[in-house]
Amino acid sequence: MKREKGLLIVLSGPSGVGKGTVRKELFTDKDLDLQYSISMTTRQPRDGEVDGVDYFFRTKEEFEALIEQNKLLEWAEFVGNYYGTPVDYVKETIEAGKDVLLEIEVQGAMQVKKSFPEGVFIFLAPPSLSELRNRIVGRGTETEDVIHSRMLMAKEELEMMDEYDYVVENDTVEMACERIKAIVTSENCRRERIAKIYKRLMEVEE
């Protein structure tokens, strides 16, 4: 049964919680028919990251031009860098009946919620703040000042948990993915998403 619209699934949480790792693992599951909307950022690529695959890497000037043109679904400045989501792909994919996953920062998720309150908002939480710090330090890519800034921000972001529909603890990547897949399945079975389609089908048969 073809749905009228797909779901907009927003995966968000503090920096360092493992959003990217969980997202990559989710997309290894061929039974989970998700489309990934690649975010845009002005930060430098980390080792192994590829432009157009992990992020669209742009200059500050290029990013600000897109803001002026209203070409971003959401955007935020985080620890000195811009992050955002190109709007056209998201809208077109949802209208085609496909589910779209956004992996974005908390500030951006709150902007999306204003534009798409019907979206499914999932907060990825760390087992503890000390574990979160260990993960950020373990990257080996951040200075002590940046780590300190990220931890202060993480405490503020954890307090925004109430703005989300679901909270998933990222104790292990495998378990976090199983919980997210269960959420997606449940949301796709919600009565209000499919009842209209079935009613129309029954009218045709009559």
Residue ranges covered by each domain of the chain = 8-37+98-205
Q: Quickly list H helices, the chain.
A: 19-26, 60-68, 87-95, 106-115, 129-139, 144-158, 173-188, 191-205
Rounded mean pLDDT, 45-61: 91
* Residue 110, C-beta contacts closer than 8 angstroms, at least 6 positions apart: 160, 163
Regarding predicted confidence, which is higher, 133 or 202? 133
* Residue 119, C-beta contacts closer than 8 angstroms, at least 6 positions apart: 7, 8, 9, 10, 112, 113
Q: Among 61-75, 92-106, 140-154, 177-191, where is mean pLDDT lowest?
A: 140-154
Q: What is the pLDDT of residue 1?
A: 53
Residue 33 has pLDDT above 90, yes or no: no
pLDDT digits (tens, 9 = 90+) for 106-165: 888 998 999 889 999 999 999 888 888 887 787 767 788 888 888 888 888 898 999 999
Residue 206 has pLDDT above 70, yes or no: no
Residue 12 has pLDDT above 90, yes or no: yes
Q: Which residues share a beta bridge with 168?
A: 124
Q: What is the pLDDT of residue 151?
A: 87
Rounded mean pLDDT, 177-206: 82
Whole-prediction pTM value?
0.80
| Structural contact between residues 176 and 169, judged by C-beta atoms closer than 8 angstroms | yes
CATH of segment(s) 8-37+98-205: 3.40.50.300
Q: What is the pLDDT of residue 147?
A: 83
Residue 195 has pLDDT above 80, yes or no: no
Regarding predicted confidence, which is higher, 113 or 205? 113
| Structural contact between residues 40 and 63, judged by C-beta atoms closer than 8 angstroms | yes
Give dist(CA 141, CA 132) in Å, integer: 15
